[in-house]
Amino acid sequence: MGYDYRKNLQAVGQNDRNACWAASLSWWLSAMALHYKRKSLTQNELISKFTSLCEDDGTLTIPGFRKVCESAEIRMYLQYMSPSKFQADYTNIDQPLVIVFNYP
């Protein structure tokens, strides 16, 4: 297994019930900053930078989340897959990963 991020990285709690996207990305950026030369951003910085992509309630649509992840500051690889494919393909994860569940 690779670098154990759990030793040096605390969880990021969301500011409100609709800020899960910002909390998750803040945690992921902090993990990337530990091992790679990446800039970390706080949850509030992310919300401020990407507020134009947010819905009125602070949530992000799937296309909005894609735009945030593909932005020059974030540069996060996105992949859509079924739960069964994820379970089959990701049995030995040794890097920070954000899993987004889209409730039907």
Amino acid identity, position 34: L
d(CA 21, CA 24): 5
**CA-to-CA distance for 95 and 104, rounded, in angstroms?**
28
Query: What pTM was computed for the model?
Result: 0.83
- With respect to residue 36, please indicate whether it lies within any of the assigned structural domains: yes
Range of the domain at 21: 5-89
The answer to the question of residue 102 being in a domain is no
pLDDT tens by residue, 41-87: 999 999 999 999 999 999 998 899 999 999 999 999 888 888 888 88
Say if CB 102 and CB 62 are below 8 A apart: yes
- Structural domains counted in the chain: 1
The two three-digit tokens of residue 29, written as one number = 């950026």
Assess if residue 46 is contained within a domain: yes
The answer to whether residue 54 is domain-embedded is yes
Note whether residue 38 is domain-resident: yes
Q: Which residues contact 60 (CB under 8 A, 6 or more apart)?
A: 21, 50, 53, 54, 68
